[in-house]
């Protein structure tokens, strides 16, 4: 029989009524002739509660026990979903990660998939079971311990099962009815997209859009898994939601297909860094070792050049997540103390935001940057840092102007029109 993967997030299984609602959607797909693999998250709020219990129990907790506790929320949901389906007359059973098994690396709380053997589930489908309910977010390390995949790991679990079992499609049920051109909470002109290319979705996810977890999109793009994002709270059919697919399945894309934003950004500038080969490595290697996620990077001629020989020093500016500023400062101070890098001053600006336009049509279109910069200039919004790729342009601006910038760019590129 054809196979579907259906994933239900925490809000979709927040209580027994919502689990029954989700089970009804699974039952309809079974009635249409599909075998179904269902991936479930923990009930809404449960993972945070479990994390809190661990932190209250031990300040220096064992990561292996952390994973054992935090993964338990998905186990409860999987069992309840299987019981509900059975009560509806659907042959179903639940599976924890170790029972499949979902083999992962041994990096606790941030494990990655190694493989998912098919034999156990294939045998149960051959015996007449129609639904396998899998606890998402978890796996099995080589030493037999439970692992977790990091926040959003159930999305990645769903895509991994779709790839391993050659599913016709992977449906991600959530609390929104699809992927929009931008956040509808910022502009009422935001439009739901019928289709979006993997590359566009990957950029939007990495730039701040929170509908899909970035790793899940990477995996889908690698294995060509067709993803559909749709609401668990609405009646749906085969045309509902947004399909995330290969570029070849989209007849013609707009030049810009979406505007993304991230509030949680900070800008760090190292003033008067010596301008010589190897200095950049001396800065960014310690940051990487400290686990600081550097994004946008700009190197400028320093004003201090007027006090030195021309070209002798430079200012290095880069952006980091706002919650990593202190870690970045420590890494730079330690590098300066060790003589790895020299600079006069470190300036951190924690009142910035990143706004980006994304579209595969940018590959073959001229004038995108000009349109973007003019739209921001017309609103008197100053650009602090610019970064580009083949299908995106990102700018760092003052955070107080973020919503205005999103609205202006959405209008400038006519994204409200299909």
CATH number for the domain spanning 111: value is: 3.40.1160.10
The answer to whether 67 and 147 are in contact (CB under 8 A) is yes
Structural domain ending residue among the three candidates 175, 192, 226: 175
pLDDT of residue 309: 47
Residue 145 forms part of a structural domain: yes
Are 43 and 13 contacting, i.e. CB atoms less than 8 angstroms apart? yes
What's the domain range around 52?
3-175
Domain annotation covers residue 288: yes
State the pairing for strand pair 169-174/131-135.
Answer: unpaired
Beta-sheet pairing, 227-231 with 195-197: unpaired
Q: How far apart are CA 340 and CA 283, in angstroms?
A: 8
Residue with tokens 């952006």: 319
Judgement on whether residues 20 and 165 belong to the same structural domain of the protein: yes
pLDDT on residue 304: 57
Of 151, 175, 199, which marks where a domain is finished?
A: 175
Q: What is the reported pLDDT for 286?
A: 94
Backbone angles phi, psi at 218, to 5 degrees: -55, -45
């292996």: which residue's tokens? 64
Q: Are residues 169 and 290 in the same domain?
A: no
Does 117 map to a domain?
yes
Position 217 in a domain: no
If asked whether residues 170 and 273 sit together in one domain, one would say no
240 within some domain: no
Whole-angstrom Cα distance, residue 113 to residue 155? 13
377 in any annotated domain:
yes
Whether residues 170 and 49 share a domain: the answer is yes
Read off the pTM: 0.85
Same domain, 34 and 139: yes
CA distance 253 to 250: 7
Q: Which of 175, 200, 233 is the last residue of a domain?
A: 175
> Could you tell me if residue 49 is left (phi over 0), alpha (psi between -120 and 50 degrees) or otherwise beta?
alpha
Q: In this structure, are strands 297-301 and 227-231 parallel, antiparallel, or unpaired?
A: unpaired
Residues 158 and 273 in one domain: no
Strands (DSSP E) along 211-367, which ranges?
227-231, 242-245, 258-274, 297-301, 313-321, 345-358
**Residue 41 falls inside a structural domain:** yes
Whether the Cβ atoms of residue 81 and residue 19 lie closer than 8 Å to each other = yes
CATH of the domain at 272: 3.30.2130.10
Number of domains in the chain: 2
Domain-located, residue 183:
no
Whether residues 14 and 145 share a domain: the answer is yes
| Residue 154 contacts residue 9 (beta carbons within 8 Å) | yes
Number of helices (H) and strands (E), helices first, in the chain?
Answer: 12, 18
Assess whether 9 and 151 both reside in one domain.
Answer: yes
- 72 within 8 A of 50, measured Cβ to Cβ: yes
* Spatial separation of the C-alpha atoms in residues 90 and 97, rounded to whole Å: 22
305 close to 311: Cβ distance less than 8 angstroms: yes
Q: How far is CA 321 from CA 47, 253, 264, in A?
A: 23, 31, 6
- 264 and 154, same domain (yes or no): no
Q: Is 309 helix (H, G, I), strand (E, B) or coil?
A: coil
The tens-digit pLDDT sequence of the chain (418 residues) is 899 999 999 999 999 999 999 999 999 999 999 999 999 999 999 999 999 999 999 888 899 999 999 999 999 999 999 999 999 999 999 999 999 999 999 999 999 999 999 999 999 999 999 999 999 999 999 999 999 998 789 999 999 999 999 999 999 999 889 999 999 999 999 999 999 999 999 988 887 667 788 889 999 999 999 999 999 998 887 788 999 998 888 876 789 999 999 998 999 999 999 878 888 899 999 999 999 999 899 887 666 554 554 557 889 999 999 999 999 999 999 999 998 889 999 999 999 999 999 999 888 888 999 999 999 999 999 999 999 988 999 999 999 999 999 999 999 999 998 7
State the Cα–Cα distance between residues 217 and 171, nearest whole angstrom. Answer: 13
Distances (CA, A) of 222 to 133, 168, 202, 226, 245: 25, 16, 11, 11, 11
């Amino acid at each position: 029989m054809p196979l579907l993967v259906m994933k239900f997030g925490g809000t979709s299984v927040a209580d027994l009524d919502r689990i029954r609602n989700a089970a009804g959607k699974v039952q309809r797909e079974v009635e249409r002739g599909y075998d179904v693999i269902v991936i479930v998250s923990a009930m809404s709020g449960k993972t945070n509660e479990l994390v809190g219990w661990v932190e209250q129990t031990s300040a220096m907790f064992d990561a292996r026990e952390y994973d054992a506790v935090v993964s338990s929320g998905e186990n409860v949901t999987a069992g309840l979903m299987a019981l509900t389906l059975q009560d509806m007359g659907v042959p179903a059973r639940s599976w924890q990660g170790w029972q499949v098994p979902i083999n992962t690396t041994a990096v606790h709380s941030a494990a990655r998939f190694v493989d998912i053997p098919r034999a156990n589930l294939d045998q149960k489908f051959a015996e007449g079971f129609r639904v396998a309910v899998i606890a998402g977010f978890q796996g099995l390390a080589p030493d037999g311990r439970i692992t977790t995949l990091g926040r959003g790991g159930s999305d990645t679990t769903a895509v991994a099962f779709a790839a391993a079992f050659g599913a016709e499609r992977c449906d991600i049920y959530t609390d929104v009815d699809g992927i929009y051109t931008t956040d509808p909470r910022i502009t009422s002109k935001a439009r739901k997209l019928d289709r979006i290319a993997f590359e566009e979705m990957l950029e939007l996810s990495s730039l701040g859009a929170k509908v899909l977890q970035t790793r899940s999109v990477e995996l889908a793009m690698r294995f060509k898994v067709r993803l559909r994002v749709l609401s668990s709270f609405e009646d749906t059919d085969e045309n509902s939601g947004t399909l995330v697919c290969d570029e070849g399945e989209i007849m013609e894309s707009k030049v810009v297909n979406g505007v993304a934003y991230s509030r949680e950004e900070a800008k760090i500038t190292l003033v008067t860094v010596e301008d010589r080969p190897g200095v950049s490595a001396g800065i960014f290697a310690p940051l990487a070792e400290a686990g600081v996620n550097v994004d946008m990077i700009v190197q400028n001629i320093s004003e201090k050049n007027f006090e030195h020989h021309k070209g002798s020093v430079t200012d290095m500016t880069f952006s980091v997540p706002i919650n990593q500023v202190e870690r970045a400062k420590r890494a730079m101070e330690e590098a300066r103390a060790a003589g790895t890098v020299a600079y006069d001053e470190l300036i951190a600006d924690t009142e910035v935001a990143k706004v980006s336009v994304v579209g595969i049509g940018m590959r073959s279109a001229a004038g995108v940057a000009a349109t973007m910069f003019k739209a921001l200039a017309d609103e008197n919004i100053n650009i602090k840092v610019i970064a580009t790729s083949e299908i995106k342009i990102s700018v760092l601006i003052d955070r107080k102007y973020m919503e205005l910038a999103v609205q202006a760019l959405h209008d400038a590129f006519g994204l409200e029109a299909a």
